[in-house]
A = this chain, B = another copy of it.
Amino acid sequence: MDDSVLPSIPAEPAVTAADLAASWAAVREHGPLVQCLTNIVAAPLTANVLLAAGAAPAMVDNAHEARGFAAAASGVLVNLGTPYDDTTAAMREAVAGAGDAGTPWVLDPVAVGGLPWRTAVARELLALAAPGAGGRGADSVDSPADALVVARRLAREHGCVVAISGEVDHLTDGERVLRLANGHAWMTKVTGVGCALGALVAACAAVTDDALTAAGAATAALTVAAERAAAVTEGPGTFAARLLDELSTLHPDRLAAQVALS
């Protein structure tokens, strides 16, 4: 894919391990209130991941309350895993409310691209977010080489950070690119882990000025905790429980020491 219109990626690391640790520490300290409009599968794990991080989850996902709550919340997650007419109406309200108040928000476009209806919903949500209004997107583009070029373009177009998950996670704000190589295969065998990561990005973004740092901190925390959890469990079921234990005790210094950043 042609990336000639994109500027070259800076040679120095975009963000340091200490920056990620500081963002994680800020979540611990401030306990941001994160509004989640998410799917029926990932909702329990998402709330539990936020609680383990020290954040305060609030699943306010009806159209009557979503806008006002988003204006008051510290961060907002909009996840398109199981969208319905009533919850997508709430998502529009939440994104508008986040725009009103400058609340950082995360879009997790589950299966967008493959399914036309929710793709239209995602486009509409992104259009609602005025540039510079604090909107921050996380996308899950299909895969390898070309994905980064697409991600950088999307990030520049929408003024947000785009995340590509994989064995190495890639995060970009269009200019800078952050690579994180932690995690474990069982993360893909527990439903909702990726969705919970989106909520954790919203928590970090709520307390961190730089959106790329926030996305990196959330990714580092969850993947470092996952490595530790996988080391002492026997499969995806016990791993999922232990992941919450490890996340709840993950010290910022250990995050900084264990994150595989480039």
Binding site for B on A (CB under 8 A): 39-45, 47-48, 51-52, 57-62, 64-65, 68-69, 81-87, 111, 115-118, 188-192, 233-238, 240-246, 248-249
Contact = CB atoms under 8 A, between A and B. Distances in A.
A45 to B, nearest CB: 7
A116 to B, nearest CB: 8
A41 B44 contact: yes
B58 A111 contact: yes
A83 B62 contact: yes
A191 B44 contact: yes
Given A83-B62, A115-B65, A235 B240 contact: no
A61 B65 CA distance: 21
A236 B52 contact: yes
Contact of A189 (B188, B237, B248): B248
Contact of A235 (B40, B69, B249): B249
A122 to B, nearest CB: 13
A82 B64 contact: no
Contacts of A82: 59-62
A85 B84 contact: no
A153 to B, nearest CB: 26
5 closest cross-chain pairs (CB), A and B: A235-B245, A237-B244, A47-B191, A64-B117, A237-B241
A177 to B, nearest CB: 29
A115 B60 contact: yes
A160 to B, nearest CB: 25
A114 to B, nearest CB: 9
Nearest to A85: B86
A227 B24 CA distance: 29
Contacts of A68: 115
A153 B61 CA distance: 31
Contacts of A245: 233-238
A208 B241 CA distance: 33
Contact of A248 (B39, B84, B236): B236
24 contacts: A40-B40, A41-B47, A41-B57, A41-B59, A48-B190, A48-B236, A51-B189, A51-B236, A52-B236, A59-B82, A61-B82, A62-B82, A62-B83, A65-B115, A85-B86, A234-B245, A235-B244, A235-B246, A237-B240, A237-B242, A237-B244, A238-B242, A240-B244, A241-B241
Nearest to A243: B237
A86 B89 CA distance: 14
A165 to B, nearest CB: 16
